[in-house]
Amino acid sequence: MVEKVDGVQSPVVQRRWRIPFQVSLVLWWCIWLAVLITFFSGISLAIGPFTIQTISLDLPFIGEWWRFISQGIIITFQLALLSIICATLLALLAALAGISRIAPLVSLAGLYVSLMRGTPLFLQVIFIYFALPQLGLVLDPFPSAVVALSLNYGAYMSEIFRAGIQAVSRGQLEAAYALGMTPLQTMRRVVLPQAFRIILPDLGNQFIAMQKDTSLVSAIALPELMGRARQAGAPNQRLFEALVVAAIWYWLLTIIFSFLQSRLEHRLARSDR
């Protein structure tokens, strides 16, 4: 017999019979994944008078070259991690220079940000690898890629840092000065810790985006994930299958780091309560 309160089912009964949202979400994820897999199954689907032909993949090729392509994950992760660290330092310096009210520093930061944001990342990778040797500076593919990614993302992230620093209330700055802190101490102990908490989601998104943009450095023969996919697919005339393998790994890496980012944000939010 169903329990009712004034003719309405009680919340306890409603929760008992209702499918939890999380379970429903997982079920729908499984459904959409099944649809996506079907899209690459190579079968023909007859829907009324229409016939839909799905994409056919060379599964033996994928099984043979999966391990070779997957070995590029290590270089991809190392490249993204080192580049995001360097980009963070560059972004912080550019942001501090931009708000310093010192004309040479402000103009230099503005030129750097404008140049890096105004030219394609692919062009920057090519320029650093092929043009710098004409100046007597010869870099291997990996350091060239780190320099290009760091410079490019440092320019974009400098605006994120600037917004985070300026989001800290002026009252806190005045309180720090009243306590006898120097501007450097105020920035290090008061402003930057709060700014990092504010911009953490944006920094995480930049890391995820950089992880995918590492695919551009395959143009300078760096054997990261995309580079290995091209090495495996082009000679065997199975470039599409190789790119599908690379795409799966990029997607999985994005899911993993998105989860880690959300957990870190949740922990920081809980510590602020």
- Ordered by where they begin, the domains of the chain are 4-53 (no CATH), 59-271 (1.10.3720.10)
| 156 in Cβ contact with 148 (< 8 Å) | no
Instruction: Say yes or no to pLDDT of 263 above 70.
Output: yes
Question: Beta-carbon neighbour count of residue 112 at 10 Å?
Answer: 19
pTM for the whole structure: 0.83
Residue 252, CA distances (Å) to 79, 83, 131 in order: 17, 20, 35
Distance CA(5)–CA(96), nearest Å, equals 62
- Which tens digits make up the pLDDT trace of 206-221? 999 999 999 999 999 8
State the average pLDDT over residues 173-199: 85
Rounded to 5 degrees, what are φ and ψ at 211?
-55, -35
| 145 in Cβ contact with 137 (< 8 Å) | no
DSSP string, 162-187: HHHHHHS-HHHHHHHHHTT--HHHHI
Closest CA to 92 of 104, 100, 102, 101: 100
Pairing of strands 4-5, 8-9: antiparallel
**Average pLDDT across the chain, whole number:** 87
The token duo for 34 is: 């099944």
- Which tens digits make up the pLDDT trace of 37-75? 888 888 887 777 788 888 888 999 999 999 999 999 999
| 72 in Cβ contact with 225 (< 8 Å) | yes
Question: What region does 48 belong to: left with phi over 0, alpha with psi -120 to 50, or beta?
Answer: left
